[in-house]
């Protein structure tokens, strides 16, 4: 076992593969600031998606949702996301436990290992109200990419983690208007003990 990380087996595997010793992390090593290629040994899979959601119709809003597959075993982390709208308005991020109406659509696995991350994308048109529970609001600028999720942007939400059967909804409050969302993150498979915590 890795000293100090007894309850984190994925770190033991990483340290053994990189440094050849499972007992002690060499001084100066930062396990959470590892190079991208170390993700393989921590079982992290990178993903990204860009999708346009058509206008919802008169009086209705459009939404896009990133969802961690129900019944799956993955923690989906949305690290970065941007939205572009036609009209400047308030954008809402909401968490939800039900997939939106249309989908699922696939995401792109950024590390291209032939594995499909447990991330799904759903869309919805024709809803007069925004489903989900509020977690963040951002003002958008017309026809400009606006960051809505990022670690280092004070105006944006911090990264969002999604357990199986949960999602985050990107909602434009201007009715009958298309939106474009681009997002990226990673997936880590959960162990049995992590699923029940």
pLDDT value of position 61:
85
Q: What percent of the chain has pLDDT over 70?
A: 80
pTM to 2 decimal places: 0.80
pLDDT at 29 over 80: no
pLDDT mean over 32-59? 80
With cut-offs at 50, 70 and 90, classify the pLDDT of residue 10: low
Residues 6+ apart with CB under 8 A from 101: 122, 123, 124, 125
Closest CA to 85 of 53, 133, 48: 53
pLDDT value of position 184:
93
Of 42 and 120, the one with more pLDDT: 120
With cut-offs at 50, 70 and 90, classify the pLDDT of residue 9: low
Q: Among all chains, which residue has been given the structure tokens 């400009």?
A: 144
Torsion of CA 52, 55, 61, 65, to 10 degrees: -20
Residue 190 to residues 74, 79, 99, 135: CA-CA distances in angstroms?
Answer: 5, 18, 21, 24
Query: pLDDT tens digits for 121-154?
Result: 888 876 667 778 888 888 888 888 999 999 888 8
Distance of CA 87 to the CA centre of its chain: 25
Distance of CA 41 to the CA centre of its chain: 20
Helix (H) or strand (E) segment spanning residue 145:
none
Closest CA to 31 of 46, 7, 14: 14
Residue 188 to residues 76, 88, 118, 136, 142: CA-CA distances in angstroms?
Answer: 7, 35, 9, 24, 35
Torsion of CA 69, 73, 77, 82, to 10 degrees: -10
Question: Which parts of the chain fold into alpha helices (H)?
Answer: 9-19, 192-195
pLDDT at 157 over 60: yes
């Amino acid at each position: 076992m890795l000293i100090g990380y007894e309850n984190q087996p994925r770190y033991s595997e990483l340290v053994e593969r990189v440094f050849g010793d499972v007992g002690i992390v060499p001084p100066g090593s930062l396990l959470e600031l590892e190079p991208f290629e170390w993700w393989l040994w921590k079982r992290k899979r990178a993903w990204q998606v860009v999708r346009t959601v058509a206008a919802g119709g008169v009086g209705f809003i459009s939404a896009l949702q990133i969802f961690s597959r129900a019944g799956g075993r993955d923690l989906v982390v949305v690290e970065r996301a941007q939205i572009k709208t036609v009209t400047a308005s308030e954008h809402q991020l909401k968490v939800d436990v039900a997939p939106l109406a249309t989908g699922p659509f696939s995401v792109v696995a950024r590390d291209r290992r032939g594995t499909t991350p447990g991330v799904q994308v759903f869309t919805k048109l024709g809803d007069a109200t925004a489903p989900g529970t509020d977690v963040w609001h951002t003002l958008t600028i017309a026809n400009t990419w606006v960051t809505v999720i990022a670690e280092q942007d004070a105006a944006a939400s911090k990264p969002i983690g999604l357990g199986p059967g949960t999602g985050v909804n990107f909602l434009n409050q201007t009715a009958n208007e298309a939106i474009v969302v681009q997002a990226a993150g990673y997936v880590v498979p959960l162990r049995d003990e992590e699923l029940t915590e």
